[in-house]
């Protein structure tokens, strides 16, 4: 590729020919090692020329195709770019949650924030990050279960039941469940039977389940969630 030097061009071709859209520093190190190239020099060139676009985690990059590199474009929206970065960083241990999940579940009537919310199972050092003109807020909820996680159109996000439980869990931690209870009422009204069924599977996973149960019982008129 005439706009990259020989070494950077070979690594870029190797990545794009394998249809790699998101890579880590480790991935680049391994590719450069196969050719006997200096990973630091190649990576610096690829970033400087725009072939690698840093995403919001250190050492995670989007790989532009040759046509994208010529036009300096990013054809994917910020949610897809965030998905690529989070998949590379966390595997399956993350999802779009809270107010972003409300929007993706078409419950935007109670969605009031302009931030994009991501739930992870481990702490992110800086919990507010920016990319593509959007702010992303990270919250940690350590639950190792995919109950209530939807995978659709390349995105991972919580269903309405898990979204409510996440709101309640975090609200209890912060000692303010006011907004969580507003969302709870909306989801119950949407489909009470489906909510009760989902609660049976999911509530037991949370460390705050006893306090959550009291709140849910009140809004369900005495229904025993556990």
Q: Is the pLDDT of residue 15 over 60?
A: yes
Q: 177-204, pLDDT tens digit by residue?
A: 999 999 999 999 988 888 988 888 899 9
Percent share of the chain, pLDDT over 70: 95
User: Which pLDDT score, from 0 to 100, does residue 2 have?
Assistant: 53
User: Mean pLDDT throughout 172-181?
Assistant: 95
Sequence-distant (6+) residues with CB within 8 A of 118 are 82, 86, 94, 95, 96, 97, 100, 136, 137, 138, 139
CB 88 within 8 A of CB 21: no
Domains recognised in the chain with CATH numbers: 6-71 (1.10.10.10), 81-219 (3.30.460)
User: Which pLDDT score, from 0 to 100, does residue 223 have?
Assistant: 52
- Kindly state the tokens that stand for 182: 């507003």
Q: 134-152, pLDDT tens digit by residue?
A: 899 999 998 878 899 999 9
Sequence-distant (6+) residues with CB within 8 A of 93 are 120, 121, 122, 144
User: Mean pLDDT throughout 44-48?
Assistant: 94
């Amino acid at each position: 590729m005439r706009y990259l030097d020989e070494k950077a061009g070979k690594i870029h071709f190797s990545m794009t020919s394998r249809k790699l859209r998101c890579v880590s520093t480790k991935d680049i190190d391994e590719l450069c090692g196969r050719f006997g190239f200096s990973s630091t020099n190649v990576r610096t060139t690829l970033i400087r020329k725009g072939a690698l676009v840093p995403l919001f985690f250190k050492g995670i990059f989007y790989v532009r195709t040759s046509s994208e590199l010529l036009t300096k474009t990013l054809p994917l929206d910020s949610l897809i770019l965030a998905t690529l970065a989070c998949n590379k960083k966390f595997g399956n241990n993350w999802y779009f949650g809270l107010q972003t999940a409300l929007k993706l579940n078409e419950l935007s009537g109670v969605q009031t924030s302009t931030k994009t919310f991501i739930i992870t199972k481990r702490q992110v050092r800086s919990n507010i990050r920016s990319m593509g003109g959007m702010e992303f807020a990270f919250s940690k909820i350590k639950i190792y279960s995919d109950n209530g996680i939807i995978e659709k159109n390349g995105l991972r996000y919580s269903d309405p039941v898990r979204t409510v439980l996440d709101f309640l869990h975090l609200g209890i931690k912060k000692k303010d469940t006011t907004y969580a209870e507003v969302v709870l009422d909306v989801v119950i009204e949407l489909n009470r039977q489906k909510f009760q069924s989902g609660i049976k599977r999911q509530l037991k996973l949370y460390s705050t389940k006893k306090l959550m149960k009291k709140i849910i019982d009140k809004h369900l008129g005495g229904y025993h969630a556990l």
